[in-house]
A and B are shown apart, each in its own frame.
Chain A
Amino acid sequence: MSFEAPHIEYATLSPLLIVFGVALVGVLVEAFVPRRLRYLVQSVLALVGLVAALAATIWVATDLTVRGDGAARGSIVAEGAIAVDGPSVFVWGTLLLLSLISVLLFAERHLDGGLSAFAGQAAALPGTEAERQASTRGLEHTEVYPLMMFAVAGMMLFPASNDLLTMFVALEILSLPLYLLCGLARRRRLLSQEAALKYFMLGAFSSGFFLYGVALVYGFSGSTHLAAIAEAVNGRIGGQGLLLGGIALIAVGMLFKVGAAPFHSWTPDVYQGAPTAVTAFMAACTKIAAFGALLRLFYVAFGSAERDWTPMIWIVAILTMAVGSVFALSQTDIKRMLAYSSVAHAGFLLVGFVGLHEGGEGISSLQSVLFYLVTYGFMTVGAFAVVTLVRDAGGEANHLARWAGLGKESPLVAGIFAFFLLAMAGIPLTSGFTGKWAVFSSAAQGGAWPLVVIAVLLSVVAAFFYLRVIVLMYFSDPVGDAPAVAVPSILTTVTIAIGLAATVVLGILPGPVLDLAADAGAFIR
């Protein structure tokens, strides 16, 4: 029996391996480091690991090999399982930057009496003696850092996977830690546990859809490799029913992760229940990873069947924008409102998804979606970071009525939040405007102008509920006791400052990042 050892390009995969390694070391830290040192060791380890991975990503990005016609750069590594190309590296960099500022939110202990936002002892039933003891002893779960690192590693693998099975494994690696993280809130624990359970149930269900789709596509093409599937789709060999069914089921699994209607129903509950730091991380990074994977899968594997899936994306995009914008109007909880806003953003991203393909004049859909993801990520993390600051005796004051009159209470915090909301609404001179402009112009150039008209109309509806919060903050009087705006430590301050800076800079000078997204080129096949 002959055996050929697989060839694995460790250097090219170093960003992924660093994050996985840091996660494993984090588990060992939990096992051996004394409790009082764990917080410091874990947070420093996570930060150092992410910075190292970012440096490795930049090194990999400068070293991508040019292939064929020069549009796509990169290489397929690990025996065809992973594609490290321009878009992969771009998504990696974005994910790592956003994870870095999310770790700062995780590490924030200044807001809640010297304790982190995570449960003292997650296994203790809410409202029991055990929970009170954990709270008075000042316990906290520092496992959140390795869990987050595993999630980041999964998110990095997801858009880079060049094989449906690798993609499924990555999907699970990113999802499982997130389900756990959602259930670890220190305050309002029942709501948090409910969120975790709902996310887990629906997430497991959607993974099942994805896997069934993978099976059908395998039945159609006889392979799980994206390139082989693309060949089979192009040649139209095999049963069309298998292919169409497979595309539809895989799309259900993917669209669930990006939170697109009609698979969005978990979003408000989970975003509301999860600790706000986790919500910030999850809202930004999961969406980026899932959109990266969605794009790779549909452009590389199902590219030739474009006529079959474009109508589906049109309908889902319209539905998602409509549901996100309209339902956000009736929300009374700030986190739920931001959740519906993220649903609406998923819809705008899908508009870019059906835009102009690479090779044409103008902004390609890949470039526009990548750019939109960067703008969306920074303003989302920033906005949720501000949400952690507005507090009363019971923790965060998330009810919208409690935000009334915040402009008088704390002009700075209200002003920053108003700016993030304006950015989400897509007002010029913010990154939200340039992002929307990019996806809309790409879609219009790709011939999807009816979709763009609908998107513009719906973004006007969406602007209304953002403005409603701004009016509430500045032109209403506080009801009862005004919530206090907590003074954060340097950690949250840095997060908000970076989010704000990115939102301003990308709004005024989008050129460099747009060029970077264009430079990412196309997916390699």
Chain B
Amino acid sequence: MELYTPVIALAAIAAGFAVFSIVMSVATGPRRYNRAKLDSYECGIEPTPQPIGGGRVPVKYFITAMLFIVFDIEIIFLYPWAVAFDAMGIFGLVEMVLFIATVAIAYVYVWRRGGLEWD
């Protein structure tokens, strides 16, 4: 049980902070109406109301988001290598180049097939 005490304490602090922030902003914050406040924040296009006839989301949003995630993952793997690249020597360099080349193949495909063009 002792093992979990810090975890439980942290969870309690986090929950307390969330409740505190909401209560305080309701109690003390000014309230001025603004249409923009009702929009979704940094979430791409409006999900509702859907346009007539099915409401398709343009696939370019999806491709951009996916490319971004692939870059993210690439960076995650690059960090540890960047920290230890001198210890890993040539082997590390070759492996990293292979990894980046594999990811680049996917990008080349997207680029050549027009996935990077917005319109």
In the bound complex, do residue B112 and residue A5 qualify as a contact, i.e. CB atoms below 8 Å apart?
no
By a CB distance below 8 angstroms, the chain B residues around A28 are 105, 108-109
Q: Mark B38-56, 1 if CB is under 8 A from A, else 0.
A: 0000000000000000101
Interface size on A (CB < 8 Å)? 12
Q: Are A27 and B91 in contact (CB under 8 A)?
A: no
Judging by beta carbons under 8 Å apart, are B59 and A27 in contact?
Answer: no
Shortest distance in angstroms between A24's beta carbon and chain B's nearest beta carbon?
A: 5
Task: Give Cα A30–Cα B109 distance, bound, in whole angstroms.
Answer: 7
Contact of B112 among A2, A31, A125 (CB under 8 A): A31
Q: Is the pair B87, A3 in contact by a Cβ cutoff of 8 Å?
A: yes
Bound together, the chains give a CA A2 to CA B88 distance in angstroms of: 9
Chain B residues within 8 Å of A31, by CB: 108-109, 111-113
Bound state CA distance, A150 and B84, in angstroms? 31
Q: A3-B84, A5-B88, A31-B112 are in contact. List 10 more A-B contacts (CB 8 A).
A: A1-B84, A1-B87, A2-B87, A27-B105, A27-B106, A28-B109, A30-B112, A31-B108, A31-B111, A31-B113
Contact A32 B112 (CB under 8 A): yes
Given contacts A24-B102, A28-B108, A32-B112, contact A123 B84 (CB under 8 A): no
Seen from chain B, the residues whose Cβ lies within 8 Å of a Cβ on chain A are 54, 56, 59, 84, 87-89, 91-92, 102, 105-106, 108-109, 111-113
A123 touches B59 (CB 8 A): yes
Report A-chain residues with C-beta under 8 Å of the C-beta of B108: 27-28, 31
Give 7 closest A-B pairs by Cβ, nearest first. A31-B112, A5-B91, A3-B87, A31-B109, A31-B108, A27-B109, A1-B87
Complex A-B: 7 CB contacts under 8 Å: A1-B84, A3-B88, A5-B89, A5-B92, A27-B105, A28-B105, A30-B109
Chain A, 18-43, CB within 8 A of any chain B CB: 24, 27-28, 30-32
B residues near A27, Cβ cutoff 8 Å: 105-106, 108-109
Residues of B within 8 A of A30 (CB): 109, 112-113
Q: Bound complex: CA of A449 vs CA of B112, how far in Å?
A: 60
Taken together as a complex, chains A and B put the C-alpha atoms of A2 and B86 apart, in Å, by 10
Chain A 279-299 interface residues, beta-carbon cutoff 8 Å to B:
none
Least CB separation from B112: chain A residue? A31
- Inside 8 A of B102's CB, which chain A residues have their CB? 24
A-side contacts of B106, CB under 8 Å: 27
Task: Give the CA-CA distance A27 to B87 in the complex, in Å.
Answer: 34
Residues in chain B near residue A125, CB distance under 8 A: 54, 56
Contacts of A32 in B (CB 8 A): 112
B67 to chain A, nearest CB (A): 15
Q: State how many angstroms separate the Cβ of A422 from the closest Cβ of chain B.
A: 45
Select from chain B the residue with minimum beta-carbon distance to A1. B87
Q: How far is the CB of B9 from chain A (nearest CB, A)?
A: 24
Cα A381 to Cα B87 in complex, Å, equals 51
Q: Which chain A residues numbered 121 to 135 have a C-beta less than 8 Å away from chain B?
A: 123, 125
Chain A residues near B111: list those with CB within 8 A: 31
Closest CB in chain A relative to B44 CB, distance in Å:
18
Q: Who on chain B is nearest to A2 by CB?
A: B87
Closest partner residue, chain B, to A6 (CB atom): B91
A15 CB → nearest B CB, Å: 19
Cα–Cα distance between A290 and B112 once the two chains are bound (Å): 36
Among B59, B91, B105, the most chain A Cβ lie within 10 Å of the Cβ of: B105
Q: Which residues of A contact B89 (CB under 8 A)?
A: 3, 5
A3 neighbours in B (Cβ, 8 Å): 84, 87-89, 92
A30 to B84, CA, bound (A): 36
CA distance A125 to B91 in the complex (A): 47
Min CB distance B92 to A, Å, is 8
Q: How far is the CB of B77 from chain A (nearest CB, A)?
A: 14
A143 nearest CB neighbor, chain B only: B109
Interface core residue of B87, B92, B102, B109 (most chain A CB under 10 Å): B109
Q: Which of A103-139 contact B (CB under 8 A)?
A: 123, 125
B107 to chain A, nearest CB (A): 10
Task: For the complex, give the distance between the alpha carbons of A27 and B109 in Å.
Answer: 7
Least CB distance from A42 to B in Å reads 13
- B105–A24 contact, CB under 8 A? yes
**What is the CB-to-nearest-CB distance from B6 to chain A, in angstroms, rounded to a whole number?**
21
Q: Which residues of chain B are near A24, meaning CB under 8 Å?
A: 102, 105
Residues of chain B lying within 8 A (CB to CB) of residue A2 = 87
Chain A residue with Cβ nearest B111? A31
Nearest chain B CB to A13's CB is how many angstroms away? Answer: 14
A32 CA to B113 CA, complexed, in Å: 9
Q: How far is the CA of A28 from the CA of B102 in the complex (A)?
A: 11
Query: How far does the Cβ of A216 sit from chain B's closest Cβ, in whole Å?
Result: 19
A123 closest partner in B (C-beta) = B59
* Most chain B CB atoms below 10 A, which of A2, A3, A28: A3
Set of chain A residues within 8 Å of B54, measured between Cβ atoms: 125
Cα–Cα, bound, A5→B54 (Å)? 54
- Of all chain A residues, the one with the shortest Cβ separation from B90 is A5
* Complex Cα–Cα for A92 and B98 (A): 25
Q: Give B54's nearest chain A residue, CB to CB.
A: A125
In the bound complex, residues from chain A placing their C-beta under 8 Å from that of B109 are 27-28, 30-31
Q: How many angstroms between the C-alpha atoms of A372 and B108 in the bound complex? A: 43
User: How far is B78's CA from A365's CA once the two chains are assembled, in angstroms?
Assistant: 46
**Residues in A neighbouring B105, C-beta threshold 8 A:** 24, 27-28
Bound-state CA distance A123–B115 (Å) is: 13
Residue of B nearest to A29 (CB): B109
Q: In the complex the two chains form, what is the Cα distance from A31 to B105 in whole Å?
A: 9
Q: Which residue of A lies closest to B56 (CB)?
A: A125
Once the chains are docked, how many angstroms separate the CA of A185 from the CA of B88? 47
Chain A 313-340 interface mask (CB, 8 Å, partner B; 1/0): 0000000000000000000000000000
